[in-house]
């Protein structure tokens, strides 16, 4: 019989041949062949990503127009799938892996992490209880212990990993989850403490964070059921380098308590998104303790730097807080998703999160010696996230991971010096870690509002070149450009090249503006 292409991408000959053989989605030969091609793709991607535009030139909905509008009925060779991936998907990607990516915070990766994630995906374990995945549970607890040791976290955060401190840890997907589970735990504790019947007193609970806290906190508060009018955003300013002021926090908590409200939760941050501000953990925790409020530390990005002794002081006072989360997928060479949450009193978290259906009962759980990580998270099912984190730490060792952190900070210092040496620009807040907040300076007759617009145009023009990608924020009511160093492929040459591009783009902007001004002066239009 001849071979004719069908609308699904395969051939009628395929259908005839496949009818004789059962479908085997894990056929060992296919597994090897497909994965070898995927590995080649990944290797080629990292070899070539530097030359790709960081931001794609595509419009919303483009992919539906390029690929089939409906799922194909019949099979196609895997090579066809890979061809479409290269032709349609890759050109539409924002390349976070590019060494020319300086936006937001980095999403680091490494060969060890990719290998760990690949193996974990292949095993596809669903580790809700210890019995369901003994090695996965043990590996997660071991990796958490290793990271806690590198961060010099106090023994009070140990427990599930065998430290016996009454605390414990769990690897979640993102910081958002860490905030949400701790908010729910703090909510339940405050309701019990205040004698509330069920959730009748929920409207009295108040939560606190600085105005620099990540927006996910306010989203998590709404999901956890807190009244939006009870969410306090404490204003910050240049006098504290935009860190949370404990005096203002105390003032807000005192005012709420006098009004009959119940201060419940404080979110402190080590490395805020806008400016990398570091809240003073000890003083904040001392204020919160006056009302038995839960203190959570969001150290998603900058916490990783604290594995280096010279940055560890940013966690001073952590022994007084109730929980802390660090995201190795940001700066510790471990691909998404991987957020490590540590709590000082694990039983409070599990009290709010646990579920005990009969179909999950087993001897290991009943013995009291096993940890069921489902009871420290929102859902029940969970991925084998601990493997990739362990593989990163085991493969590279502390010294090389510290070298990676220090190299990024050194490159950020270089960029900061370049900005400070140019009178056209200014550094808006002192650099912390590997983020530089800078902007075109308002000079001469230029107003701050005009400078804001100039910086916005600079960012857009720069990003439209495809040669670099930076993001912005607003600090002290000023439009500020954020230059975040840390992509796994970045070297000093990329930082210097980005700076030259910034200067060139700025010069072209002002030259164009001057020409337009002269044209207006000459013709009046």
Write out the two tokens for 414: 């270089």
Q: CA-to-CA distance for 209 and 212, rounded, in angstroms?
A: 8
Q: Which of 265, 342, 359, 512 is catalytic?
A: 359
Closest CA to 394 of 146, 198, 186: 146
Other beta carbons within 10 Å of 7: 10
Compute the radius of gyration of the chain from its Cα atoms.
Answer: 26
Element (H, E) at 300: none
All residues at 6 or more sequence positions from 412 whose CB lies less than 8 Å from its CB, including other chains: 431, 433, 434, 435, 436, 483, 485, 495
Q: CA-to-CA distance for 254 and 390, rounded, in angstroms?
A: 44
Strands, E assignment, 322-417: 323-326, 339-343
Q: CA-to-CA distance for 378 and 225, rounded, in angstroms?
A: 15
CA angle 108, 487, 309 (to 5 degrees): 70
Q: CA-to-CA distance for 178 and 340, rounded, in angstroms?
A: 8
Other beta carbons within 10 Å of 501: 16
Q: CA-to-CA distance for 500 and 498, rounded, in angstroms?
A: 5
Alpha-carbon distance values, 357 to 132, 362, 371 (Å)? 14, 11, 16
Residue 74 appears among annotated catalytic residues: no
State the catalytic residues: 359
């Amino acid at each position: 019989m001849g071979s004719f292409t069908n609308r699904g991408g395969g051939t009628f000959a395929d259908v005839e041949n496949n009818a004789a053989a059962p479908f085997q989605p894990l056929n060992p030969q296919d597994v090897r062949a497909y994965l070898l091609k995927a590995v080649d793709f990944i290797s080629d991607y990292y070899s070539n990503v530097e030359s790709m535009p960081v931001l794609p030139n595509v419009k919303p909905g483009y992919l539906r127009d390029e690929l089939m509008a409906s799922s194909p009925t019949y099979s196609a060779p895997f090579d066809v799938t890979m061809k479409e991936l290269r032709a349609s998907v890759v050109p539409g990607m924002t390349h976070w892996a590019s060494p020319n990516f300086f936006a937001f915070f980095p999403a680091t990766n490494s060969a060890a992490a990719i290998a760990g994630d690949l193996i974990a995906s292949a095993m596809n374990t669903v580790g809700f209880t210890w019995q369901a995945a003994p090695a996965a549970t043990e590996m997660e607890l071991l990796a958490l212990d290793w990271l806690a040791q590198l961060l010099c976290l106090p023994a009070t955060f140990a427990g599930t990993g065998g430290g016996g401190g009454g605390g414990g840890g769990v690897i979640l997907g993102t910081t958002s989850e860490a905030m949400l589970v701790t908010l729910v735990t703090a909510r339940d504790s405050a309701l019990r403490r205040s004698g509330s019947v069920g959730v009748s007193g929920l409207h009295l609970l108040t939560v606190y964070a600085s105005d620099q806290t990540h927006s996910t906190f306010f989203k998590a508060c709404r999901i956890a059921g807190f009244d939006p009018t009870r969410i306090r955003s404490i204003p910050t300013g240049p006098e504290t380098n935009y860190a949370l002021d404990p005096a203002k926090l105390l003032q807000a908590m005192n005012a709420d308590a006098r009004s009959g409200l119940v201060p419940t939760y404080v979110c402190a941050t080590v490395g805020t998104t806008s400016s990398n501000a570091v809240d003073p953990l000890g003083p904040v925790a001392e204020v919160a303790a006056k009302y038995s409020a839960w203190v959570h530390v969001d150290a998603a990005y900058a916490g990783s730097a604290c594995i280096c002794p010279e940055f560890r002081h940013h966690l001073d006072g952590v022994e007084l807080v109730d929980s802390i989360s660090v995201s190795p997928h940001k700066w510790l060479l471990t691909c998404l998703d991987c957020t490590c949450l540590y709590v000082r009193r694990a039983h409070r978290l599990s009290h709010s999160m646990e579920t005990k259906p009969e179909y999950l009962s087993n001897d290991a759980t009943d013995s009291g010696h096993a940890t069921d990580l489902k009871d420290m998270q929102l859902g029940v099912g969970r991925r084998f996230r601990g493997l990739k984190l362990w593989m990163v730490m085991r493969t590279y060792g502390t010294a090389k991971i510290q070298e990676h952190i220090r190299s990024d900070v050194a490159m950020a210092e270089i960029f900061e010096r370049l900005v400070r040496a140019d009178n056209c620009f200014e550094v808006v807040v002192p650099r912390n870690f590997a983020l530089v907040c800078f902007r075109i300076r308002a000079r001469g007759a230029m107003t701050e509002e005009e400078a804001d617009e100039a910086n916005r145009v600079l960012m857009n023009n720069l990003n439209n070149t495809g040669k670099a990608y930076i993001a912005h924020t607003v600090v002290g009511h000023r439009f500020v450009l954020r230059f975040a160093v840390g992509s796994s492929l970045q070297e000093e040459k990329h930082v210097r090249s980005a700076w030259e591009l910034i200067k060139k783009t700025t010069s072209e902007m002002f030259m164009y503006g001057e020409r337009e001004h002269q044209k207006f002066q000459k013709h009046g239009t």
